[in-house]
Amino acid sequence: MTTGYVVSGRGDLDALFKPRTSAAIANTGFTSNGGVDLAQRFEPRGATAAQVDTGFKAGANDLAQLFMDTGAIVGTITISNVNWLATQPSTPASTASSSHQLTTTGDINRLLNGITSDEGDWVSPKTAAPSTFKVQVDIISGAFAAGSSATGVQLSLSAGPHTWTVSRATAAGVGSDSCQYQMTFFDGAGNFLAFASNFLGAQIVAAGTLIANVSETAAANSGLTTQIGFQRYTLGLADFGSVTSQSVDGGTYLLEQCCRRQDGTGNLFGLSAAGSTFPADADTTWQRCELTGIFSDSGGASVTRTLARTSCTVGRSDNESGRAYRMWTANVQPWPFIAGNTYTVKIYKS
């Protein structure tokens, strides 16, 4: 049974608005079918775009502003925490920069030292973007670089892109800058939808001394395909990719692993030394590792990705076959290796 409210040239309201499947809004004063308010009949508009006004108003609001268009695509916010760190050596002059960007088309972009990669979508289905969704970023600690999008206010995602950046120039010296912040999403009416806690960092490390310049071929762990890179290790850990240990620092160490963590997040880096003494967790052992090659998010271009020891924590340490193995784990954006590709690996110490 139709409502009896007809918009000229468009038909009954039943043809314009979706049936209600969620909690009703406040009654509108428009009733039909035995005195049932239209608020009980039609789905609230939420964050979806409004259709053309109907001419029927509940107070100051046209019903088109209150109820969901039959053609609306309903989106769900799909976000997770990010932990992105950019690193540059102190020479030559440059700037380390990491950015978190949301686009009007639903993309989440990561920008590290000028390289942009698509890190997924902030809404599903993506065709629901931008609708009337809003986002607010609130700083917990640290600060964003000048030129970043506003903080502390709700920003419409139909305008943009919105980009927040942390950067540090080599002129500022060795050290780091960072920002911890909460990103909160709202619908068009300002109702809370979702939030994530995030970190952006930018660091300048000493230029250091080159102690390894080798090539390695990446592969996936046959038993755990989310783990990609190269690893030669002991105590039952799988070997994959280049499994010939490469000399580091004139043979003081061997490079044992450079890959994603077993859960597919973060990175692992490993060295071994002859004897029973583990490689020290110090910049005098290794300060940073630079990998150069084509990654899955580099658009076919060869780029350099840097992992600094200071962004890592010591993972497992093992003794076997006369060698001491030490693994470092980094809770940062994982290297998106392409299985079968060869990467240049440069390792530096202070």
pLDDT by 10-residue block (mean), the chain, 350 residues: 90 93 92 90 88 94 94 87 91 94 96 88 91 94 98 95 97 96 91 94 93 95 90 78 89 94 88 95 95 91 90 88 92 86 96
Among 333, 215, 345, 313, CA closest to 264: 333
Tokens for 73, please give them. 């695509």
Q: Look at the domain 77-205 and name its fold.
A: Immunoglobulin-like (2.60.40)
Residue-wise burial string across 104-119, b where 16 or more C-beta atoms lie within 10 A, e elsewhere: eebbbbbbbbebebeb
CATH 2.60.40 segments of the chain: 77-205
Among all chains, which residue has been given the structure tokens 């468009």? 10
Q: What is residue 131's predicted lDDT score, i.e. its pLDDT?
A: 78
Query: How much is the pLDDT for 209?
Result: 96
Which residue is listed with tokens 């061997």?
254
pLDDT for the residue numbered 150: 98
pLDDT of residue 234: 61
Q: Say which amino acid occupies 3.
A: T
Q: Tokens for 198, please give them.
A: 């995030």
Q: How far apart are CA 331 and CA 311, in angstroms?
A: 8
What is the structure's pLDDT at 263?
A: 84
> What is the value of pTM for the model shown?
0.72
Q: Which amino acid is at 239?
A: D
- In this structure, what token pair is assigned to residue 38? 């239209």
**Alpha-carbon torsion (23, 27, 32, 35), positive or negative:** positive
- In this prediction, residue 79 carries a pLDDT of 93
What was the pLDDT predicted at 78? 92
